[in-house]
Structure 1
Amino acid sequence: MCRLALKSADTPFSPYDVLTAMEAMQEGYDGSGLGLLLRGVEFEDFKLKPHHVVLSGIAHTEAAFHRLTDWMGGQGFQVKYVHEFERRPGLIEAKDRFNYMVRAYKMPDAWAGLTPEQIDDKLLEIRLAIRRDGDAHGGDITIFSLYRDVVMLKEVGWPLEVGDALGLSDGRLRARVVMAQGRQNTNYGINLYACHPFFIQGIATMTNGENTAFVPIKEWLLGKNIPGYIGYHSDSETFTHILHYITKKLKLPLELYKHVITPLKTEELDVHPNGDFLKGLRTACRRLIIDGPNAVIATLPDETCMLVMDQKKMRPATVGGRPGAWAIASEMCGVDAMVPDRDPALDFQPMRQHTVIIPPERKELTIWSQFDQFTLPQAA
């Protein structure tokens, strides 16, 4: 098992707040990995603009750092800001961390006429090229994200120690949404790419549990030949790509993610108001049906947050909060740590049919059931 924590708030806050919540759930992970995603990022001494993007990753050697810097410049990116971490490297076991990169770039001038979708494709193309370059040089570059107002950090170690090692308590780096996963290594070797959350084109997910249907799902996704469906150092990375496929490629509503990964039974669909459509969707996406137990937490580019669970419910998660601040965590004590000034009687633990959504305006939760009717978007 792992432990998950997410906080979403109107007022930007320090990621250290979420790491403190992880400390409250420390019996659920083993220090083999910490992943952090910050969305709606604000730097203390720099304001991001719409034409800026943020690169997050690690240059493991000086040569890799200079190679990446030169390559990004050659692509037309202009460095506008570099976040300098107040590092205490003695707290991190790994020694090959020449430079933690959180750098804001102005996008190439040649992209000025591109649509947001075209820019997303370009950013993905650039991120994949950086990853290939790092792999070609013995893994000397690890790239986590290249996107608007998003920062990702991944490291081996205990959450608070990693936070202290990178000086995350100093308040210079804040965000409106923070996702964190404390990893318990069960099936794979320790690899930074295996730390949750996983990210593609603004979509991020993290999971507590196992996906024993991993191999057929991975093979199906790889067979689509969609850029970015690569890696799979963790079976949970498939959840990110399924969400991307459903919302970006099929352009279906967020609620239908649950219908794809854990479809209703035929007898339930027989009486569902959208039953015929859902039967067809289940057939078309049958290779994407998961086998749990799983709890999946996701965020989208507009800062929407989501929680779903499978029917086994052996990897619990709870959501609670108040208008303006909400939290999702593997344990109630994690929610307590992130939003203590709430009414805990209103905390909610979803059942197997629920999708819990924290909308971007953060006024109240949306709790959606697979048994509810829905309206499909009209074709353009």
Structure 2
Amino acid sequence: MCRLALKTALEPFSPYTVLTAMEAMQEGYDGSGLGLLLRGMEFEDFRYNHKFPILSGIAHSVAAWRRLDDFMEERGYELKYDHKFHMRWDLVESKDRYRYFVRAYRMPDKFTDRTQQEKDDELMLTRLALRKDGELHGGDLTVFSFWPDVTIIKEVGWPIKIGDSLCLHDGQIKSRVCMAQGRQNTNYGINLYACHPFFLQGISTMTNGENTAFVPIKDWLLGRHFPGYLGYQSDSEVFTHILHYTLKQLKLPLQAYKHIITPLSSQELAVHPQGEFLAGLRNVCRRLIIDGPNAVIGTLPDETCLLVMDQKKLRPATVGGRTGEWAIASEMCGVDAMIPDRDRALDFQPMREHTVIIPPDRKELTIWSQHDPYPLPQAA
């Protein structure tokens, strides 16, 4: 198993807070990978414009760093901020690291009057082009995200040690949402792209579990011929892409995600107020039904956070907190580390039919059941 932790708060906080939760759950991972996603960025030395897309990743050589600069300039991006971590290089396990980068850019002038979808596609295609460039040069450039208000950090090693190596405790970088996953390397070789969280056009998920339906799901997604549905160094990456497909392609509400990955039985749908529509959705998306056990935690561009379980419910997760800040973790001790002074009587462990939603206002949890109706497209 892996271990997951998420904290979301109205006031930006240090990602080191979430790393302490990972430390509390350290028996659940082996140091083969840590992934951090930060959303709702704040920098101590830069007044960040939240419209600027942020490029995050690792340049493994001077040559890769120079190609990155040349590529972005030729594509028309203007560098507005280049974050420099206060590095402790003696704590970095991997020796082929030249520069960890978090860089904010102004988009090319030609996109000023373009639609939001055109801008979103451009950011995705730019990230994929840089990833491809790194792969063509022996893996010397690794790019995790290119999106407004989002930074992703991934590295091999133990979470606290990685946090110390990048000096994440120094307050230079904060966010309103932070996701962390400590990987246990069970099925694949060590590859930074295989480390959660996964990201596509503002949508991100991380998973504890094993998706034994991975191959048919992957093949179905590849058959959509959408440029962002690629990679799959991990069987869990499909959870991000299914959520993207639900929200962006089908344009359904968040609650539909649960109906797609773990649909209700025919007997349950027969008595559901929207059973006819949901039965049709299940038939159309039957290749996207997962086979767990899995616990999936995610975030959306508006800072909504979510937690869902599969039918087997063999990967635990708990959510707790208070108005203004909430936490989700694989173990209770992880929630304790992030928000110790909460009312524990309000903690919640979802069952197989639940979707836990923490809205952007962070006032309270929304606990939605698949047996309840939800907003459907008007035509339905």
Deviations 1:72-127 (A, max 9, x none): 01111111111101111221211111010101111111110012221111100101
Instruction: Say if 2:207 is the partner of 1:210.
Output: no
Question: Using the alignment, how far apart are the partners of 2:21 and 2:245 within structure 1?
Answer: 31
- Structure 1, unmatched stretches of 5+, are none
Question: Using the alignment, how far apart are the partners of 1:91 and 1:325 within structure 2?
Answer: 31
CA contact (8 A) 2:86 2:166 kept: yes
What residue number does 1:262 align with? 262
- In the TM superposition, what are the counterparts of 1:15-94 in structure 2 within 5 Å? 15-94=15-94
| Amino acid across the alignment from 1:100 | Y
What residue number does 2:179 align with? 179
| Amino acid across the alignment from 1:253 | P
Shift of 1:206: 0.1
CA contact (8 A) 2:51 2:149 kept: no
SS, match of residue 67 in structure 1: helix
Question: Using the alignment, how far apart are the partners of 2:346 and 2:69 within structure 1?
Answer: 49
What residue number does 1:153 align with? 153
Shift of 1:15: 0.2
SS, match of residue 259 in structure 2: helix
Instruction: Say if 2:13 is the partner of 1:13.
Output: yes
Deviations 1:244-281 (A, max 9, x none): 00000000000010000000000000000000001100
CA contact (8 A) 1:51 1:107 kept: no
Length, aligned pairs only: 379
What residue number does 2:360 align with? 360
Question: Using the alignment, how far apart are the partners of 1:375 and 1:66 within structure 2?
Answer: 49
What residue number does 1:314 align with? 314
- Structure 2, unmatched stretches of 5+, are none
Question: Using the alignment, how far apart are the partners of 2:221 and 2:276 within structure 1?
Answer: 25
Question: Using the alignment, how far apart are the partners of 1:195 and 1:173 within structure 2?
Answer: 21
What residue number does 1:333 align with? 333
Shift of 1:48: 2.0
| Amino acid across the alignment from 2:99 | N
SS, match of residue 212 in structure 1: coil
Question: Using the alignment, how far apart are the partners of 1:213 and 1:326 within structure 2?
Answer: 31
| Amino acid across the alignment from 1:76 | G
Change (3 A) 1:307 1:281: same
Shift of 1:324: 0.1
SS, match of residue 360 in structure 1: coil
What residue number does 1:229 align with? 229
SS, match of residue 226 in structure 2: coil
Shift of 1:50: 4.5
| Amino acid across the alignment from 2:295 | A
| Amino acid across the alignment from 1:3 | R
SS, match of residue 297 in structure 1: strand
Question: Using the alignment, how far apart are the partners of 2:299 and 2:189 within structure 1?
Answer: 26
Shift of 1:375: 2.1
SS, match of residue 269 in structure 1: helix
| Amino acid across the alignment from 2:312 | K
CA contact (8 A) 1:204 1:240 kept: yes
Deviations 1:3-49 (A, max 9, x none): 00000000000000000110000000000000000000110111222
Question: Using the alignment, how far apart are the partners of 1:209 and 1:50 within structure 2?
Answer: 34
Instruction: Give the TM-score normalised by the residue count of structure 1.
Output: 0.99
Instruction: Give the TM-score normalised by the residue count of structure 2.
Output: 0.99
Question: Using the alignment, how far apart are the partners of 2:114 and 2:192 within structure 1?
Answer: 32
| Amino acid across the alignment from 2:77 | F
Question: Using the alignment, how far apart are the partners of 1:335 and 1:49 within structure 2?
Answer: 31
Change (3 A) 1:60 1:115: same
Question: Using the alignment, how far apart are the partners of 1:208 and 1:332 within structure 2?
Answer: 15
Shift of 1:53: 1.0
| Amino acid across the alignment from 1:145 | S
Shift of 1:168: 0.3
SS, match of residue 35 in structure 2: strand
SS, match of residue 327 in structure 1: strand
CA contact (8 A) 2:318 2:330 kept: yes
What residue number does 1:284 align with? 284
